[in-house]
Structure 1
C-alpha cells in the first residue's frame, strides 16, 4: 500500500480528497496541519466506525520523519476574501511549504510531488480560455494586490520546471465546488447559495463570464491518474466535462432552487475580486487526457448535485439521480 503525505490537510479540497482516498483504500495517509487536535476531531467524526487505512496526524515540524511515496501540497488560500486580506504574505507562505516539500524530494528523488496550483498562474488575461499555447501575463510595472496570488503560483511552477529530473506535477485548479464548501466564502456560487438559503435577492453585475466547476470525484480521479501514471515533471490544467456561462448558471439556480436575482449595478464591496476579473476562467488544455483522465461531471451537474445536498433539497437530488 502506498503512503501519501498531505500538507495543508485541513483545507476543504484536501478534506474532500481524503474522503475519496479513504474510500478507494489504496493509500495510508500522513496528514500535516497546524491544529492537530481539530484535525483528529474531524477524522473521528467523519470516519467513526468505518474501517479504513491508517490515518496519522502530525504538525509540520514532523514532516519527512515518516517515509512516504508522494507528497501533496494543499497549503494556501481558497477564499478570495482571505487572499485579499493576506496580501503580500501569500509569497512567503507559498514558498515556505513548497520549499519544505522540495527539500524532502531532493533527499528522496524517487518521491512524487503534487502541488495545488491555480488557473490564476496564467495571469489576469482571460479574454479567452486558457490553452496549451497560452502565455502567462504579468503587469510587471503595475502590479496590484490582486496579482499576488497568481504570481506566487507562477513562481512556484517556474521553480518546479527548473527541476526536470524530479517528479513534480502542478495541478491548476480553476474553480472547484463541493458540498463541504464554506457558505461564508466570497465566491459567486456561494453568494447565490446564501441568497437561496436566506430567501434574499442576489444582486449581480451584468458582465458575462464562463466558469468550470470541478467536482471532488473528478479531482480525485485526476490525482489518482497522476499517482498511477509515469513519473513526470509537468503542469496539468483541471477541467470538468463542460463549463457553464453566467446566464446559464443563474437560470439553473433559479429553475432548480428558486434563486431570485437582479442584474444591475452592485453595491461597493459586494464583489470580492482578489485575483482579478476573468471573463473566461477555464481551460481548453486537455493534456491530462493523456493520462486517461475523463471527467464524469459537467459544471452544471456538479453544481446541481452538491447544491442540493448543501441546501437540503431531497426532491432535487432525487431528480438528478433519476436522470442518470
Structure 2
C-alpha cells in the first residue's frame, strides 16, 4: 500500500508514521512545507527505507496512491488563536488538493483529520450520533473559525458520495512524544511534574476522552483496510472518558503532581471553552475499531513509556 500523508510534521502524523513504518508493508510519501523540520532519525534504517519526504509541489495526479491521509491543521491552541481566519483558507487548500486527486483516481481512499470542534456549540453535554452542529451564524466568534473550517470540509466530503472519504474527528489526543511547549491542560500538568512546580487550575471540572497512539493507529488501520466503499465521519473515543480532577489525582498518585485550585487562571481557549469535550458516538465500530485503553490508562501508558519526565 502506498500512502500519501499531508501535514506530516504534525504530532499525530509523526506518531502514525512511526507506527505504519515499523509494522506495515507499505510505502509512505510524507508531504511537508519544510523538509528540514521532519526528523526521522529515531526510526530504524528498515523503517526509514519505506519513507520519502516531499514538498507539496511534488504532489501530482500521475502518482499512484492507495490512500491519502490529511493531517493539515493546527495542533497548538496558541497557534490556532494566532492564525485566526487563515485556518479557513489553509484547510480548504489542502483538502482541495486531495479531493482533486481522488476525483481522478477513484480507487484511492481519502482520510481527513477532522475535529470535535466541527460540531460547534458549547459542549454542555457530550456529543452523540444525534447531535447537530451549532454555530451562531449571526454572531460568529474568533473561536469558531477552526471548527467551521472542519465543518465546511466535511460538508464537501458528504456531497461526494461517489468517492471513498472518511473523516475522523479527533477530540483529545496525547502521546509520549508530545511537544511540552504546547498549551493544553495535559501538557501543562506534565510540565509541572517535570519542573516540580504547582499546577494552577480553575475549580471548573472538565470532561475529556484522550485517545493515544495505540488506539488511534487501530482506528486508522480500520479505515485503511476496510474493503467497503465508505463515505462517512467517525468520532474518536476510548473505552471511557474521564474528568480533570480524576486526571489530577491520578497524576498525583503516580507521578507526585502538585496542584492548586484557583478562581483565576490564565489559559488559552482557541476554540472556546468546552466542559464535555468528547463523543458517545460509536459509529467507528463499523470500521472494526475496538479501543484497548480508557483515558486514564492511555495517559499513564504514554507517560511511562516516554521520556517526557526525564
Q: Of residues 159, 162, 186 in structure 2, which corresponds to 1:189?
A: 186
CA distance in 2, matches of 1:145, 1:51: 41
CA distance in 2, matches of 1:259, 1:272: 21
SS class of match (1:46): coil
1:253 maps onto 2:251 in alignment = yes
SS class of match (1:178): coil
Q: Displaced runs of 4+ in structure 1, greater than 4 A?
A: none
CA distance in 2, matches of 1:53, 1:156: 33
The question of whether the paired residues in 2 share the 8 Å contact of 1:121 and 1:151 is answered with yes
Match of 2:133?
Answer: 136
CA distance in 2, matches of 1:79, 1:288: 26
TM-score w.r.t. structure 1 length? 0.92
Match of 1:266?
Answer: 264
- Cα deviation, 1:222-262, whole Å, max 9, x if unaligned, reads 11101111121000001111111111111001111111111
1:284 maps onto 2:280 in alignment = yes
The question of whether the paired residues in 2 share the 8 Å contact of 1:27 and 1:53 is answered with no
CA distance in 2, matches of 1:52, 1:58: 14
Match of 1:232?
Answer: 230
Which region of structure 1 is more displaced relative to structure 2, 201-210 or 57-66?
57-66
Match of 1:319?
Answer: none
Within 5 Å, give how 1:72-87 maps onto structure 2.
Answer: 72-87=69-84
1:307 maps onto 2:303 in alignment = yes
1:216 maps onto 2:219 in alignment = no
The question of whether the paired residues in 1 share the 8 Å contact of 2:21 and 2:50 is answered with no
1:242 maps onto 2:248 in alignment = no
CA distance in 1, matches of 2:18, 2:158: 30
Q: How much does 1:266 deviate? A: 2.6
Match of 1:178?
Answer: 175
Aligned pairs, number = 307
Match of 1:32?
Answer: 31
CA distance in 2, matches of 1:178, 1:310: 11
Q: How much does 1:52 deviate? A: 5.7
In structure 1, runs of 5+ residues without a counterpart are 314-324
1:49 maps onto 2:30 in alignment = no
Q: How much does 1:34 deviate? A: 1.0
The question of whether the paired residues in 1 share the 8 Å contact of 2:177 and 2:308 is answered with no
CA distance in 2, matches of 1:175, 1:291: 20
In structure 2, runs of 5+ residues without a counterpart are none
The question of whether the paired residues in 2 share the 8 Å contact of 1:25 and 1:52 is answered with no
TM-score w.r.t. structure 2 length? 0.96
Q: How much does 1:296 deviate? A: 0.5
Change (3 A) 1:117 1:125: same
- Cα deviation, 1:151-210, whole Å, max 9, x if unaligned, reads 110000001011111001000000000011110111000111111111111111111211
